[in-house]
Chains A and B, each alone.
Chain A
Amino acid sequence: MKKIAAALVLASALAVPSLAYAKDLTIEAKIASYRGPNAFFAIYVTKPDGSYDSTLWVAGQNQRYYRHLRNWVRGIAAAGGNIDGISGASVGAGQTLTVHASVADAMIDAGYQIHVDSAVENGGEYANDIVMPLAQASSGVAATGAGYVQSLTVTF
């Protein structure tokens, strides 16, 4: 009986921090109006020192084109990482992509930044198309991009 109780205590001790640890994000990326094939882009997070931390979402599944998302690919190639489960189809002009992701609570308002790299086949490529702080104050506020991602809204 004691053992079971101890196990329960231990389990809840492990479970509760993890509940507090994760923060769910809703990401809405609106693609600009342009003529051409679908845009592919990566949404990722950098550490306070500017180095790559983690990837939130990759639109575009053909890995042959990833090298055009230059800043992101540089980070993930150095840090290593797997994008299984956090990637999907490329997105056409004028469309909006909505995806969900989660980050650690501790990363919010701690100097982390959200970046977007975007590119289009035989078109332009934009490293750091959008850079916005991962801060409570910018939740729900649209950030404007210079390239194929017209605006990015992160809500948490």
Chain B
Amino acid sequence: MLRRIHSFPGLLAGLLVMFMALSGAFLSLQPAIAQWQAGTAAAQLDVAALSDAVARQFPTVSRIVRQASGAVVAYSDGSGGQTATRIDPSSGAALGPYETSPVFAFMTELHRSLFLGQGGHVVAGLAALSMLVLSISGGLLLVTRLGGWPKVLGVAKGSFKQRLHVDIGRIALLALLLSGLTGAYMSLVSIGLVSTGQDGFIPFPTTVDGGTPAPVSTLAALQALPLAQLRELVFPAQGDPTDVFTITTNAGQGFVDQASGAMLGFVPNSVGQTVYEAFYTLHTGQGIAWLGLMLGLAALTVPVMSVSGALIWWSRRRNQPRLKHNVAGGAADTIILVGSEGNSTWGFAKVLHDALTLAGHRVHTAPMNSLARHYGKARRMFVLTATYGDGAAPQSASRFLSRLERFQPTPDLAFAVLGFGDRSFPHFCQFADDVGAALLATGMDQLQPWAAIDRQSSQSFAQWGVETGMRLGAPLHLVHTPSLPRTTRLELVDRDDYGIEVQAPTSVLRFAMPGAKRGGLSTWRGFGRRLPRFEVGDLVGILPPGSAIPRYYSLASASRDGVLEICVRKQTGGLCSEFLHALTPGDSIEVFVRSNPDFRPGRGFSPLIMIGAGTGIAPLAGFIRHNRHHRPVHLYWGGRDPRSDFLYAVDMAECLDDARLARFTPAFSRTVGGRYVQQSLRDDVGAIRDLVAQGARIMVCGGQDMAGGVRTALDDILAPLGHSAQSLKSMGRYLEDVY
């Protein structure tokens, strides 16, 4: 819901808000220029002395204005109309003619009414209102996304556009909120929907002395007023002894008798007027140039926020399957919650959703992260979830367990959990288990026992549907045909084989678009059929023949290299690795790419400690080969025997030579005095502590066991610094790609 509140005005008014922000950013320069031109006067005159000095130089002066920047302007009537002159606030001397900037005047009018009069004020007000709604809903989304107020400054995760949106949003949020709030209020006043309480005519004094006008310098009320408090002083019409000085100060308005010098009928500003002036100052930065510039800088982020926000909305929309008849959570009798990493679980959820809808149920299907606080009319809740990595929550369920703490189930709500996974992994459906236990702990009844679907089996899903249908009292036909991501056909270009002698056959495989052989005319022929976009460290999904379940491998190249490079160790009985190892150049495979934005070195020049074992070197070697800016990289890697499985030995030697790699510490387990990579780390205690103290980021890639060993070793090494693998992880300085 919150997300919808955020994206609706963002998409609808995006262009308008962008336009207002850019014109506002331009206008923010005005107070700074004005303040710079006005300078800082050391000692200022009182209003009486200043008026006297001005009146001597300009006998026909009609008005003196002190602007927010501190500049003083005198207007006097002449034969050719009115002339405006800048006045030195410390002496009252004329400084030269005063001219308003036509550019700023034009932009001001454009910004507040688009030259459309009253209707334009309404449009500008809607833009400000959109900004206000976007800031508030965005702030709340930010807090939920990062896991609560204490973590609001934590590391943002996700794709580049998501991190950009969150990081810039965090910096600019308060300023944008202020601009939106004050702008919306000012528009309401301009339209006339809000009164400042000062709309009536200020009564003109009736008790005027009427005597001979006294010299301006002797008028007591003007003498008592320091120049800094003056806004405007209007002189009485010449030759009219019944007229008075009209004075506006920052406290209110009043009149000064030109004979007695007394203040007549001073009306202090109403509360509404005081509020309006405060909002005006906060919005425009008039007189507070630094605030204006800050708001202007924040406004410059709006186009970036609009574009990245629209892209995020679009990719989310594209990634979620279209559901027909998806009922709102509060009105549904059946809730389906989906925990999915790669979207395959969504396919099953859609089948269940359609079948239940056909059976006459009112079904609400949503990601697990969208769990509401309660579902008013729901009787049953199905949770379909995959498990990610080592028993962790998949992407669309990452916040489910914390949201569940605030969940208030209605008494007759029962649940069923269906896990999806692969039995060959040690933590089969671990997360589904955890979710089931957590749901039981809320006191809800179980609709039917916990069940699991192995390797996306359509048969066991259909069987589960039969059982569920019996419990619901109506047959449920669940026919799932796996839908796979759109694949690209690639051709093996070449391969390097390692490790046969040490019983760990490992190959570096390079694929390219068919026909796009390197060099010469053939490159041109392949032009137009380019590789799908990917970065080093992203994952490639490969479908071995005879299986519908993709296997994922970390990429050692980026699409701009023109090849897709992976490093595969042959697992005995492994369907996919045996298939890949049997390939010869010219053979083709079907692949798709999945982005893995949380495993990247990131920007900056802080040192990198890369740790890997076996094929885990592949993405690390890819990062190092692309390290054109010579960021210091320290690589620790473990293999078996340097004579047999020293992967990327030549590449790493080249990188050491031209400083793309600062230091390389390989460890081999099958040599005399064999050792693991963890031991190399323990030997380098001093160096690693130094690097971490310098702000180094650690990247680990390899198998479960190695990753666990590295974590323990680093916990021991970093304990004296008060750090641990976990603490660095929470700062975004410890990244793992573990399989």
Contact = CB atoms under 8 A, between A and B. Distances in A.
Q: Do A and B bind each other?
A: yes
Interface of A: 35-38, 61-64, 66-67, 70-71, 73-74, 76-78, 89, 122-127, 146-147
A147 B118 CA distance: 24
A64 B203 contact: no
Nearest to B77: A146
Interface in B170-228: 190, 192, 196, 198-204, 206
Nearest to B191: A62
B189 to A, nearest CB: 8
Interface in B222-249: 234, 237, 243, 246
Contacts of A125: 63, 75
B55 interface: no
A78 B206 contact: yes
Given A62-B192, A124-B75, A77 B201 contact: yes
A-B interface, 4 closest residue pairs, ranked by CB to CB distance from nearest = A77-B201, A124-B82, A63-B199, A74-B204
A31 B84 CA distance: 20
Contact of A122 (B100, B102, B201): B100
Nearest to A37: B109
Given A38-B117, A70-B234, 20 more contacts: A35-B105, A35-B106, A37-B105, A37-B109, A63-B199, A67-B202, A67-B253, A73-B201, A74-B204, A76-B201, A77-B201, A78-B203, A78-B204, A78-B206, A122-B100, A124-B75, A124-B81, A124-B84, A146-B77, A146-B82
B105 A64 contact: no
Contact of A36 (B62, B81, B100, B202): B100
Main secondary structure of the interface of B (DSSP, over half): mixed
Nearest to A38: B117
Contact of B201 (A36, A38, A66, A146): A66
- Of the four ranges (under 10, 10 to 19, 20 to 34, 35 or more), the interface on chain B belongs to 20 to 34
A89 B117 contact: yes
A64 B206 contact: no
B246 A70 contact: yes
Contacts of A35: 102, 105-106
> Counting chain B CB atoms within 10 Å of each CB, which of A62, A66, A89 scores highest?
A62
A64 B196 contact: yes
Given A35-B105, A37-B105, A62 B203 contact: no
B63 A67 contact: no
B102 to A, nearest CB: 5
> Counting chain A CB atoms within 10 Å of each CB, which of B75, B190, B201, B243 scores highest?
B201
A127 B198 CA distance: 22
Given A37-B109, A67-B253, A123 B201 contact: no
Nearest to B240: A50
A123 B237 CA distance: 19
Nearest to A66: B201
A32 to B, nearest CB: 9
A73 B109 CA distance: 26
Contacts of A66: 201
B234 A77 contact: no
